[in-house]
């Protein structure tokens, strides 16, 4: 029995890492390729954000339904089907002949990504008890951090020496390997009471999120004063309000908003949304800054972003093994976000004649700061969530993280467009670096706001079960049993 449980820890970890590797690397590669896509399809630089927004919106729409599907069909079946869909859609993206066609395939890719990430995370948290989750994160971060490290470099090589199409084709062999491994080694898990499918809640959340994100992506391009932009945003926001009213009165909601009443889960979700807005927006901005602002090649842009992932890999080992178990998540997360904000502000000192090593140093610093943000936030978020509610909590956590990223890209695009990143001098276009600097300040502001929220709302005592430096294993097992019994009584 022990051997079986340990083997599942390995099996789930391997497939989850492969899934995360594809989704993370896909985002960083696409960021590097955005200017090339704009030139290929003859559209303005701001217009190519639809490639990113379309994918993130699709994630946001389908992440909420992933928990119900995973509980109904089984985690193994759902995860492998999602990996297959993501892999096939990646191959289709590589064959696109127009921007519209690429966006459609990216939306399909987002369906697969929206299902596999939360289902994989739920499976991971079910096989690893709270006391082992931070330690597991320190192991998992090593391979998953390779994705953002390799993504910009591979993206630069593909765009510069081969074709932008390879930024999508690269997912295919990884996806096939994950499918074969998971098909052989993964065991299934299915909840006995997944509940009825909440069609009304899914429709309200899906259409509402889709309309809102579409409006956010079109606003910077067409102008926020255009009637269709305002109407789309208003309709999306209204449907989301309706969704909240529906879900709070459902016995089996597709988005269990009542989980947010859990103090630690609600606080970490708030921090994750704000942190994702700042960081994902900054990554999107950095790629444009390097290539359109400073005139670097895609490969140079990738190599100059590479140190950020190295910082995550190095910092995560110290944070998760030495610091977090002793002092808890609150100070670790808040301090990490302040470091991230400082690195973003430091990027405003980079000019056309500045050494790229200075910029790479700032990216390394940003990565070190991020090592104290995302992994501790994810580990702490589930500390007080019962095993039965893990899938629902995982879907909500991932939905808010991905939507935060989509909003971050929209905000950075809006700020950048408002600053007019390109102006004309003596009949030729010249980059306006001040527009990028203001955008970096906006991203830093979001990181600071997230740090304040972490310092105020995250309570270390709530996450005690994940702090193995403070309590013994017997105490942790007892706390886990009490949490499970409380959850059973609450569900009853």
DSSP-derived secondary structure letter, 192:
S
Residue 424's pLDDT is what? 65
Residue-wise pLDDT for 167-193, tens only, equals 999 999 999 999 999 988 888 766 556
Instruction: Say if residues 453 and 267 touch (Cβ distance below 8 Å).
Output: yes
Q: Which residue would you say has higher pLDDT here, 1 or 46?
A: 46
**pLDDT for the residue 233:** 85
* pLDDT of 464 higher than 60: yes
Residue length of the chain = 492
- Model confidence at 474, pLDDT cuts 50, 70, 90, reads very low
Q: Which residue has the higher pLDDT, 305 or 86?
A: 86
pLDDT at 425: 64
Check residue 173 and give its pLDDT: 94
**Domain assignment of residue 111, yes or no:** yes
Going by pLDDT thresholds of 50, 70 and 90, the confidence category of residue 427 is low
Residue 203 within a domain: no
Q: What's the rounded Cα separation, in Å, for the pair 492 and 486?
A: 10
Residue 46: inside a domain, yes or no? Answer: yes
Q: Distance between CA 181 and CA 479 in Å, rounded?
A: 34
Confidence (pLDDT) at 193: 64
Q: Are 481 and 312 in contact (CB under 8 A)?
A: no
> Of 287, 373, 289, 381, whose CA–CA distance to 323 is shortest?
373
Judge whether 118 and 395 are in contact, CB under 8 Å: yes
- Give tens-digit pLDDT for 376-405: 888 888 888 877 777 778 778 877 777 787
> DSSP states of 421-485 as a string?
SEEEETTEEEE-HHHHHHHHHHHHHHHHHHHHHHHHH--GGGGGGG-TTTS-HHHHHHHHHHHHH
Please give the tally of structural domains in the chain. Answer: 1
Give the pair of three-digit tokens for residue 330: 């609150």
Spatial CA neighbour of 90 closest among 221, 202, 178: 178
CA distance 446 to 81: 36
What pLDDT digit, counting tens, does each position of 46-103 carry? 667 778 778 877 877 787 788 788 888 888 899 999 999 999 999 999 998 888 889 8
Q: Reply yes or no on whether the pLDDT at 488 is more than 60.
A: no
Q: Which residues are CB-contacts of 428 (< 8 A; sequence separation ≥ 6)?
A: none
Give per-residue pLDDT as tens, 263-276.
999 999 999 999 98
Strand, helix or coil for residue 428? strand
Of 340 and 243, the one with more pLDDT: 340
Place of tokens 């064959």: 95
Q: Is residue 217 part of a domain?
A: no
Report the C-alpha gap between 238 and 240 in whole angstroms. Answer: 5
* Number of neighbouring beta carbons within 10 Å of residue 427: 5
- For the segment 8-41, what is each residue's pLDDT rounded down to a tens digit? 888 888 898 888 888 888 877 887 788 788 888 8
DSSP 382: T
Neighbouring CB atoms inside 10 A of 412's CB total 28
What are the C-alpha distances in Å from 311 to residues 90, 92, 305?
28, 33, 11
pLDDT confidence band for 426 (50 / 70 / 90)? low
DSSP state of 187: P
Tokens describing residue 335: 């301090």
Residue that is written with structure tokens 């200017």 in the block:
35
> Is residue 218 a part of any domain in this protein?
no
Lowest mean pLDDT across 22-36, 125-139, 354-368, 476-490? 476-490
CA distance 390 to 265: 11
- What's the chain's average pLDDT? 81
Residue 99, number of CB atoms within 10 A of its CB: 18
CATH number of the domain enclosing 275: 1.20.1250.20
CA distance 427 to 380: 55
Host domain of residue 59: 2-198+250-491
Q: Positive or negative, the Cα torsion across 260, 263, 268, 270?
A: positive
In the predicted model, is pLDDT for residue 227 greater than 80?
Answer: yes
* 347: helix, strand or coil: helix
Place of tokens 């994810």: 378
* Higher per-residue confidence, 147 vs 361: 361
Which residue has 């609600």 as its token pair?
266
* 48-52, 176-180, 331-335, 423-427: least confident range: 423-427
- Within a domain: 366: yes
Range list of β-strands (E), 41-121: none
What is the rounded average pLDDT of the residues 194-208? 80
Cα–Cα dist 36/301, whole Å: 12
The two tokens of residue 431 are: 């980059």
Q: Provide the pLDDT for residue 456.
A: 95
- Asked if the structure places residue 21 within a domain, the reply is yes
Tell me, what's the pLDDT at 454? 95
Within-domain flag for 226: no
Q: Give the pTM.
A: 0.79
* Distance (Å) of CA 17 to CA 25, 124, 144, 192, 445: 12, 10, 6, 27, 31
pLDDT, position 340:
95
Higher pLDDT, 139 or 166: 166
How large a percentage of the chain has pLDDT more than 70?
Answer: 86
- Tally Cβ neighbours within 10 Å of residue 52: 23
């Amino acid at each position: 029995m022990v051997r079986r449980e340990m083997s599942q820890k390995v099996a789930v970890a391997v497939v989850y890492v492969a899934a995360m590797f594809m989704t993370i690397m896909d985002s960083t590669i696409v960021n590097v390729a955005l200017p090339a896509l704009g030139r290929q399809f003859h559209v303005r630089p701001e217009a190519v954000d639809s490639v990113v927004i379309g994918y993130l919106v699709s994630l946001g729409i389908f992440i909420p339904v992933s928990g119900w599907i995973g509980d109904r069909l089984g985690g193994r079946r759902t995860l492998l089907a999602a990996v297959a869909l993501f892999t096939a859609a990646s191959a289709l993206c590589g064959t696109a002949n127009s921007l519209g066609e690429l966006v459609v395939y990216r939306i399909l890719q987002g369906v697969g990504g929206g299902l596999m990430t939360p289902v994989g995370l739920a499976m991971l948290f079910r096989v690893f008890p709270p006391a082992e989750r931070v330690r597991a994160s320190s192991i998992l971060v090593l391979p998953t951090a390779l994705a953002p490290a390799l993504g910009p470099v591979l993206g630069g090589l593909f765009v510069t020496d081969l074709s932008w199409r390879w930024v999508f084709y690269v997912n295919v062999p990884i996806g096939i390997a994950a499918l074969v491994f998971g098909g052989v080694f993964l065991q299934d898990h299915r909840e006995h009471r997944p509940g009825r499918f909440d069609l009304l809640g899914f429709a309200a959340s899906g259409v509402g999120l889709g309309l809102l994100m579409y409006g956010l992506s079109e606003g910077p391009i067409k102008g926020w004063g255009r009637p269709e932009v305002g109407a789309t945003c208003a309709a999306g926001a209204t449907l989301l309000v309706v969704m909240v009213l529906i879900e709070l009165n459902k016995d089996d909601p597709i988005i269990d908003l009542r989980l947010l009443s859990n103090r630690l889960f609600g606080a970490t979700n708030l921090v994750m949304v704000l942190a994702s807005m700042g960081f994902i927006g900054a990554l999107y901005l950095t790629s444009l800054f390097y290539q359109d602002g400073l005139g670097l090649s895609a490969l140079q842009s990738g190599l100059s972003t590479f140190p950020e992932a190295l910082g995550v890999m190095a910092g995560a080992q110290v944070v998760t093994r030495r610091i977090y178990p002793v002092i808890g998540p609150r100070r670790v997360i808040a301090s990490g976000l302040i470091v991230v904000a400082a690195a973003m502000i430091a990027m405003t000192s980079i000019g056309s004649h500045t050494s790229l090593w200075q910029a790479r140093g700032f990216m390394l610093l940003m990565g070190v700061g991020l090592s104290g943000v995302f992994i501790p936030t994810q580990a702490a978020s589930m500390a007080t969530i019962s095993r039965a509610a893990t899938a629902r909590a995982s879907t909500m956590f991932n939905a808010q993280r991905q939507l935060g990223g989509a909003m971050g890209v929209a905000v950075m695009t809006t700020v950048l467009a408002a600053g007019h990143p390109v102006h004309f001098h003596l009949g030729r276009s010249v980059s306006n670096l001040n527009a990028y600097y203001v955008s970096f300040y906006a991203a830093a502001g979001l990181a600071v706001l997230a740090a304040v929220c972490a310092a105020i709302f995250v309570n270390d005592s709530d996450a005690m079960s994940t702090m193995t430096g403070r309590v013994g294993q017997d105490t942790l097992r007892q706390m886990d049993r009490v949490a499970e019994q409380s959850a059973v009584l609450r569900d009853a």
